[in-house]
Amino acid sequence: SEVDDTVASPAKRLRHDTQQLAYPSPTSAPRGPTPPFQQPTQLISFSYTPERVLEFDDSALRYFVQPPNGAQLGHAYERWNRRPESRPRIDGLLRAFSTVRAKSHPALASGPVGVVSWRGVMTRILTAPYAEERDGWELNVMSVGGVLYFEEFLSEARLEDKNNLEPRQRRQTYFGYAFESYCTADKPGVPNVPQHPGDPPGWGGDVDTNVQWCSVVRTKLGDTRMVIGGEVDCVRDKYTGTTDTFVELKTSLVIRGPQDSVKFEKYSECIARLLLLMIGYRKLLKFYMQSFLLGVPEILVGFRTPSGQVTTTQTFKTVEIPRLVRGKGPHAWDPSVCFAWGDAFLEFLKTQIRDKEERTVWRVAFRPKVGVELRVLDDKEVEGVVAGEERVGFLPQWYWDEVVT
Ligand code: 0WD
Ligand code: CA
């Protein structure tokens, strides 16, 4: 060929600079002992106000209340105060981490932190062995002072898609938030009183997705200590400053079929299993991992009709979920596969990224059924990530100044 592709071919260069980690087959039993996952300890909590200002207080903390029978999740849809999708940033979590470090929190004394990440990102990583074709993801990664920072990467097109959901999809997203409204109150044990004329009994106030209460925990997977932050929907009865009373709220569509005739009167393992089947194994793994990572002990699922009426609720103890699915057919999953993979993934990043230039931004791309690819972003790509803000890579300048001295 006339083209000198030894220098010019970006494809070739890419291949050369790209490291790969093969995806583990979930059916092959993980080799060796499962890496331990340490019980999460809360380091700090914070709130986002309706103006989306981060405050180190518990003003956005909500308390669980039983939702009314037959709650209509389409209520006040038109009054939803929607936060526009923007590039998901790690800044809030870094402010929290910076604050606990300044206070020399005792839970940070046991050893160096290896990973700082939002919980949603860790959920994606750990559930990768069971991901379906459409569940691929991309991350930006930086390694500064021996700490790996993860940030979800959404392309402009993906951001656009998230901002322009089909009306039907957007409504379904709203159902989840409306369920949270019915299930939570400002104060423990005080039932919700309607604010607007026409609000149904038990409505906990209009949905504002700016407002969030977040918990930041310390945990450890294998040899890697992690600081993970995530949104917590509410606490049951009281807030103790620990994760013990955290509750995750979910909705799940009741699929038409013989299940409809089942009466959900008492909690029994049999009924729990049936409900799990209705949620679907794949979705249940996400529920489980998301809650487990933050130490949330309870998941309350509201089963709804296609039009958004809650027909029944069921609470699950997070740690009991794996036992309910273990060995149950071809779609069953095993969390030890996820932890073994997660550990291998973190070790892979540590060996590949070690001793490299700290300003470098790495991109991890996960392709379901294939594995992950790791590469360095070029300057132009980093520009897209930074988008004219005061940042070093994707880290805010103030944080960089604080840790690199
Ligand atoms: O701006 C964005 N695109 C995102 C921001 C995407 C994902 C997360 N975040 C932010 C969150 O606002 C929060 O401050 O990161 C922080 C931590 O989130 P997380 O706990 O790590 O997120 P994840 O576990 O993915 O989701 C937890 C909850 C969701 O509950 P359900 O039950 O649906 O899993 O966070 C909410 C949602 O209620 N949530 C969002 N709310 C508004 N806009 C969004 C979003 N884009 N993503 C998740
Ligand atoms: Ca939720």
**Rounded Cα distance, 216 and 344, in Å:** 24
Q: How confident is the model at residue 178 (pLDDT cuts 50, 70, 90)?
A: very high
How confident is the model at residue 11, as a pLDDT?
37
**pLDDT tens for each residue of 368-388:** 988 999 999 998 898 877 777
Q: What is the average per-residue pLDDT within 195-210? A: 94
- Identify which ligand lies nearest to the alpha carbon of 299: 2
- pLDDT value of position 265: 44
Q: pLDDT tens-digit profile of 99-146? A: 999 999 999 999 999 999 999 999 999 999 999 999 999 999 999 999
More confident residue, 33 or 92: 92
Beta-bridge mates of residue 37: 221
What global pTM score does this model have? 0.92
Of all protein residues, whose CA lies closest to atom 46 belonging to ligand 1? 85
How far, in Å, CA of 20 to CA of 22, rounded? 6
Residue owning the nearest CA to atom 31 of ligand 1: 250
> Which residues hold their Cβ within 5 A of ligand 2, which is an ion?
233, 249
Give 263's pLDDT tier (boundaries 50, 70, 90). very low
In this prediction the ipTM stands at 0.95
To test ligand 1's pocket by mutation, which of 48, 52, 231 has the most ligand atoms within 8 angstroms of CB?
Answer: 231
pLDDT of residue 18: 82
Under a CB-based contact definition with an 8 Å cutoff, are residues 251 and 270 in contact?
A: no
Look at residue 12 in the predicted model and tell me its pLDDT.
37
| Token couple for 84 | 């526009």
The verdict on the CB of residue 290 being under 6 Å from ligand 1 is yes
Predicted pLDDT of residue 5: 41
Residue 143 alpha carbon to ligand 2 centre in Å: 30
CB 73, CB 257: distance < 8 Å:
no
46-59 per-position pLDDT tens digit: 999 999 999 999 99
Q: Stretch 279-302: mean pLDDT, rounded?
A: 95
Is 50 exceeded by the pLDDT of residue 260? no
Q: Is the CB of 119 under 6 A from ligand 1?
A: yes
Sheet holding 115-118, edge to edge: 19-22, 371-376, 362-367, 137-144, 147-152, 115-118, 224-231, 212-221, 41-48, 54-55
Q: Which tens digits make up the pLDDT trace of 69-96?
A: 999 999 999 999 998 878 889 999 999 9
